[in-house]
């Protein structure tokens, strides 16, 4: 392998690391946000489910590899150039990493698209088929958050109605060790432990979560929902990796920098490391700052996200898991009246700037590489 191809492989792994840091926690954000799991437990589950999706990505979503080599958007003779692939990878990676440090969940798909366009415009002197972006890139990215929000708003009330018809009630509880103690309103507006009548202190109120009481087909409702919630979170992580991994591996394969199977495993590992080391800020935004949620609402949001992203992967549509997931969470906020519009507006601003920032950084990296090579 030449030095140029080694650099391409390193740049792509840097992109995979950035992707993991920004994206890995998104599937399990509802576990953490609803109090179903601790940050550590949610992160472990995110890492496992994402790695599983990555390993199966080329077999189940191979069509996305072709979409993100830039074929049809960029002339074929440019796509395989190491300088072009380096510029796209570094431009997209820097964009995603900057958003991660700021705590904004953004789309690696958008950053990659921007990188392809920015580096392509410089490398080809403007010979980029921008019309290809409309159907293949922009339309799925714009529609996906709207669709996920509408589906969540429609589906959750049906789930809530079915739960109530089944005799399952919800109750606010305080986590005491591994036990959930029911709490209720006190005469002065505070909260009291139902079992003992003890007044809860202010710092304990933040540990309160909503739990479900009743049985479904003989199983305690809270435990059953927790199990389903974990499965739905894992499904989002799996579907996210299924959709994102081919896009990243595509850059390695375009330059023939590495064997496909080795590239797949390397990207999966880099994504996992990025998530473990740098997921916390985006985790706080996704879990706590978009909306308040209970386990049932979190499960609904995950279910909608997993189905839409999985379907998009099967149809080779490059949707953003970020956009779908945020759309679902905002839908929950609309339903329960706790959506934080300011946070969502800031996220939308980050989304709007992701593609042009990725394009600008990729163009700059390409110019620097060309200047270095010429000198």
193 bridge partner residues: 183
Using only C-alpha atoms, the chain has a radius of gyration, in whole angstroms, of 22
Element (H or E) spanning 183, and its range? strand 179-185
Neighbour tally for 196: CB within 10 Å: 8
Q: Angle 163-169-35 (CA atoms, 0-180°, nearest 5)?
A: 95
Q: pLDDT tens for residues 49-101?
A: 999 988 887 666 455 555 555 555 666 677 778 888 899 999 999 999 999 99
Tens of pLDDT, residue by residue, the chain (375 residues)? 578 778 888 898 999 999 999 999 988 999 998 888 889 999 999 999 999 988 887 666 455 555 555 555 666 677 778 888 899 999 999 999 999 999 999 988 889 888 988 988 888 876 666 666 665 556 666 788 889 999 999 999 998 888 788 777 665 554 544 445 554 454 554 444 444 444 444 344 445 566 666 777 677 877 888 898 999 999 888 888 877 887 788 777 766 656 777 778 888 999 999 999 999 999 999 998 999 888 888 999 999 988 887 787 677 666 778 889 999 999 999 998 888 989 989 998 999 899 899 999 999 999 999 888 776
Q: What per-residue confidence (pLDDT) applies to 169?
A: 62
CA-to-CA distance for 295 and 305, rounded, in angstroms?
A: 15
CA-to-CA distance for 298 and 316, rounded, in angstroms?
A: 27
Phi, psi of 320 (to 5 degrees): -100, 125
Q: What per-residue confidence (pLDDT) applies to 255?
A: 60
Measured on CA atoms in the order 345, 238, 80, 128, is the torsion positive or negative? negative
How would you list the strands of the sheet with 191-193, edge to edge?
191-193, 179-185, 169-176, 208-213
CA-to-CA distance for 85 and 263, rounded, in angstroms?
A: 15
Q: What per-residue confidence (pLDDT) applies to 98?
A: 95
Q: What is the DSSP string of 277-288?
A: HH-HHHHHIIII
CA distances from 34 to 137, 186, 187 (A): 33, 23, 27
**3-state class of 101 per DSSP?**
helix
Q: Is 271 in contact with 20 (CB distance < 8 Å)?
A: yes
CA-to-CA distance for 351 and 335, rounded, in angstroms?
A: 24
Q: What per-residue confidence (pLDDT) applies to 210?
A: 64
Tell me the whole-structure pTM to 2 decimals. 0.81
Indicate the angle between helix axes 221-254 and 295-314, nearest 10 degrees.
Answer: 30
Q: What per-residue confidence (pLDDT) applies to 132?
A: 60
Identify which of 327, 321, 335, 228 has the alpha carbon closest to the alpha carbon of residue 292. 335
Q: What per-residue confidence (pLDDT) applies to 131?
A: 64
Exposed / middle / buried, residue 375 (Cβ in 10 Å: 0-12, 13-18, 19+): exposed
Pairing of β 215-216 and β 219-220: antiparallel
Tell me the Ramachandran region of residue 347: left when phi exceeds 0, alpha when psi lies from -120 to 50, beta otherwise: alpha
Q: Angle 327-333-336 (CA atoms, 0-180°, nearest 5)?
A: 145
């Amino acid at each position: 392998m030449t030095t140029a191809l080694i650099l391409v492989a390193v740049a792509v792994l840097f992109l995979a690391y950035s992707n993991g840091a920004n994206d890995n926690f998104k599937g399990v954000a509802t576990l953490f946000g609803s109090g179903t799991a601790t940050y550590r437990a949610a992160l472990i589950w995110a890492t496992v489910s994402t790695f599983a999706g990555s390993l199966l990505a080329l077999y189940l979503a191979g069509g996305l590899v072709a979409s993100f080599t830039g074929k049809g958007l960029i002339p074929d003779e440019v796509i395989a150039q190491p300088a072009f692939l380096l510029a796209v990878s570094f431009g997209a990676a820097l964009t995603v990493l900057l958003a991660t440090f700021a705590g904004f969940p953004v789309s690696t798909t958008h950053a990659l698209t921007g990188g392809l366009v920015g580096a392509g415009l410089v490398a080809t002197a403007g010979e980029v088929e921008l019309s290809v972006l409309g159907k293949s890139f922009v339309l799925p990215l714009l529609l996906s958050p709207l669709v996920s929000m509408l589906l969540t708003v429609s589906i959750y009330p049906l789930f809530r109605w079915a739960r109530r018809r089944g005799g399952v009630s919800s109750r606010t509880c305080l986590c005491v060790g591994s036990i959930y103690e029911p709490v209720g309103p006190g005469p002065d507006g505070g909260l009291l432990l139902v079992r003992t009548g003890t007044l809860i202190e202010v710092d304990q109120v933040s540990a309160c979560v909503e739990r479900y009481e009743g049985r479904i087909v003989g199983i305690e409702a809270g435990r059953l929902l927790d199990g389903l919630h974990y499965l739905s979170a894992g499904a989002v992580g799996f579907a996210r990796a299924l959709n994102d991994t081919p896009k990243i591996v595509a850059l390695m394969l375009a330059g023939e920098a590495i064997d496909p199977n080795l590239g797949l495993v390397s990207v999966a590992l880099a994504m996992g490391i990025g998530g473990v080391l740098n997921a916390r800020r985006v985790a706080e935004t996704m879990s706590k700052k978009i909306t308040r949620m209970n386990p049932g609402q979190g499960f609904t949001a995950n279910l909608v996200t997993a189905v839409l992203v999985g379907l998009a992967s099967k149809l080779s549509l490059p949707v953003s898991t970020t956009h779908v997931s945020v759309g679902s969470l905002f839908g929950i906020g609309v339903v329960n009246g706790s959506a934080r519009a300011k946070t969502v507006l800031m996220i939308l601003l980050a989304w709007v700037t992701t593609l042009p920032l990725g394009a600008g950084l990729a163009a700059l990296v390409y110019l620097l590489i060309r200047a270095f090579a010429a000198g």
